[in-house]
Structure 1
Amino acid sequence: MIQVVTQSKENRRRTELPFTLQDLRTAIPAHCFQPSVWRSLSYFCLDIGIVAALYAIAYRLDSWLFFPFFWLAQGTMFWALFVVGHDCGHGSFSRSKWLNNAIGHLSHIPILVPYHGWRISHRTHHANTGNIDTDESWYPVTESKYNRMPFSEKLFRFYLPLLAYPLYLFRRSPNKQGSHFLPNSPLFKPSEKWDILTSSVLWMAMVGFLGYLTYQFGWVFLLKYYAVPYIIFVIWLDLVTFMHHTESDIPWYRGKDWYFLKGALSTIDRNYGWIAPIHHNIGTHVAHHIFLGIPHYHLKTATEAIKPVLGEYYRYSPEPIWRSFIRSYLSCHFVSDRGGRVYYRRPQSRRPEA
């Protein structure tokens, strides 16, 4: 339903961009829109296998010389597993709803992500990308809001952004209320009640299991084998989300100046170097935002197909991800209170707004 509505809006305003949603879809080979159950399952099984192997090696060695490597590797694999669940949430893992939900829970619950709660809020993000008023995650605050924010609000949003995700699950983002665990949250429709309860109960069961492990083996055991890899996973999740939507030359829109395709282009592809295949090519974010039904393993092909159509509207940064992060971390704080098209600014900087 969302797809039909957004295409209708896009066609009515086609003069604002030199191409339409249909132009982009036509440029992409048809097979890119078709998920393969066996190929999708192979990525899931591979990730699970690597996670299990890392645990087996770490437990057998039980060496503090090995644990730093284990933490980085396992946290990274937690993130890879999240990306598989991300495909499930978009329906691009398979055409089977029950299979998507089953693998989505198996991918997300072990890393403390409430699958349905996150799936639905992420759907809101995709339907409103680039819209200051209605986007869901990593949208900018206005200058007046920034100036009013107490330090406690700014802490995770501006100073510790790579640790913000767990808090977001319980409190969402600035100016928005609701929890990803409660069916009566403004995030959800009444018809989604049982989905939210299912994910929340499974999430609490996972927390209970971790509590049992802690009771049996102690806090050091939990820290070594779960808590530190989980923190690495959170850093990856926040880093990738932040970097795909935070750049000083990416426009944000208000009111009638926003519509789906224009907003979907307010993102940027990033260079993750050799680690990109491990992350299932999550850096190909522009094509993903335009056509969220494309499986991750077809996104590189789809990106190459639409680049000639997008032309200057396609954004890609070839620089190392950490350099990009530092620059955006220092320069992207808020946007103007006025203007239909606005850009990130930092305190004391002034940039003309449209």
Structure 2
Amino acid sequence: MQSNTVLKQATITASSTPKEELPFTLQDLKAAIPAYCFEPSVWKSLSYFFLDIGIIAGFYAIAYKLDSWLFFPIFWVLQGTMFWALFVVGHDCGHGSFSKIKWLNNLIGHLSHTPILVPFHGWRISHRTHHANTGSLETDESWYPVSQTKYKQMRWYEKLFRYNLPLLAYPLYLFKRSPNREGSHFLPNSPLFRPSEKWDIVTSSVLWVLMVAFLGGLTFQFGWLFLVKYYLVPYVVFVMWLDLVTFLHHTEPDIPWYRGDDWYFLKGALSTIDRDYGFINPIHHDIGTHVAHHIFLNMPHYHLKTATEALKPVLGEYYRCSNEPIWKSFMRSYWACHFVKDQGSPVYYESPKHPRSN
């Protein structure tokens, strides 16, 4: 169980998952949620997509009209945040929670992800692996901890991006994946993908290359400064948002990680935490409401808050949430979450300067 000190520091409303089996089943949790929460509305989902696209277009129009270095820093933050919001729409498409129409999910997914240089199908499939294996030290896909021995063996540049520059790690992950994993999100023969998914990967990779070519054409026509002002800096802000939020979804000193037979889906799915991003919550489509999403990944984002309230009484102490400022959560995890012990299950994050006493 968490100590009182940790509770006071983190304002987290749950204890570490006990070793005994969970006192509820997946069916118990589903029964507690109103049935409509599992039903996506095509028109409601599309409205979020078109709203994000409209806001992005509006910001571009204002920035181009003003063409002022006084406005550009504001524009970069606003537009990068909207790129992140658009990514979350594509995220719903990847889960099939945008609609029940596969071709529409694929279409909107590509329209949401390709402009921000995300290979939709490649990301969709690796993210599927993450959801199917959350909390497993052997098979989770993103932001999983390395063992203490692996940490000591990591090369300086691996530690640089993983521990010193974590908010810039995403583009590298697309090409190289994470420690102890091999493959690329762009190649159909990557271990990430099944042979039957070959043409999905080819499609998304070709569209990604065409987007890069389009950006190259803009640079040739208008110059590097144009690209930097209107695309590259907002893209970096988007990457920082993506890495920040996904890092904080699963990186917390008191979130358990499991080995071997000690892991199963529902126990692993609870190895995440809800976080409050304040006024950003509706802008990035409540993606911080993450516990319910990991248990039922096919639930549209606009039903997650309702589902969470329904789940809380059933989950009890197994529900984790944090209401502390995001910057404070990030800094604590940044310093304290580097590796886990080589043996045992469950295990928890620690660092050379913050060893965990058992």
TM bucket (normalised to shorter chain) is: over 0.9
Go from structure 1 to structure 2 and tell me whether the alpha carbon gap of 1:325 and 1:349 turns closer, same or farther (over 3 Å shift). closer
1:75-154 alignment runs, 5 A limit:
75-154=80-159
Deviations 1:254-287 (A, max 9, x none): 0000000000000000010011100000010000
1:246 paired residue number: 251
Q: Residue in 2 aligned with 1:203?
A: 208
Q: How does 1:1-354 map to 2 (within 5 A)?
A: 16-352=21-357
| 1:158-185 CA-partner distances (Å, limit 9, x unpaired) | 0000000000000000000000000000
In the alignment, structure 1 segments of 5+ residues that lack a partner are 1-14
Distance (Å, rounded) in 2 between the aligned partners of 1:211 and 1:240: 29
Q: 1:264 and 1:283 mapped to 2: Cα distance?
A: 15
Q: Tell me how many residue pairs correspond in the alignment.
A: 340
Taking only the aligned residue pairs, the percentage that are identical comes to 78
Give the deviation of 1:350 after TM superposition.
Answer: 3.3
In angstroms, what is the RMSD of aligned CA positions?
1.0
Aligned equivalents of 2:354, 2:164: Cα separation in 1:
19
> TM (normalized to structure 2)?
0.94
> Quick one: higher RCO (CA 8 Å, sep 6+), 1 or 2?
2
Read off the aligned partner of 1:207 and give its amino acid letter. V
Note the alpha carbon deviations across 1:232-256, whole angstroms, 9 max, x for none: 0000000000001000000000000
User: What residue number does 1:3 align with?
Assistant: none
Structure 1's consecutive aligned runs of 4 or more residues displaced over 6 angstroms after TM superposition are: none
For residues 301-354 of structure 1, give each alpha carbon's deviation from its aligned partner in whole angstroms, at most 9, with x where no partner exists: 00000001000000000001111000100000000000021000010443256x
Q: Give me the whole-angstrom Cα distance separating, in 2, the residues matched to 1:291 and 1:321.
A: 25
Secondary structure of the residue that 1:241 maps to in structure 2? helix
SS in 1 for 2:275: strand
**C-alpha contact (below 8 Å) 2:336/2:353 kept by paired residues:** no
Match of 2:13 in 1: none
Instruction: Describe the superposition over 1:114-145 as per-residue Cα deviations: whole angstroms up to 9, x where unpaired.
Output: 00000000000000000011000000000000
Tell me the TM-score normalised to structure 1 length: 0.95
Distance verdict in 2 for CA 1:215–1:265, change over 3 Å: same
Q: Which structure 2 segments of 5+ residues have no match?
A: 1-19
Secondary structure (helix, strand or coil) at the match of 1:277 reads helix
**Structure 2: distance between partners of 1:153 and 1:93:** 35
Residues of 2 paired with 1:155 and 1:184: CA distance? 28
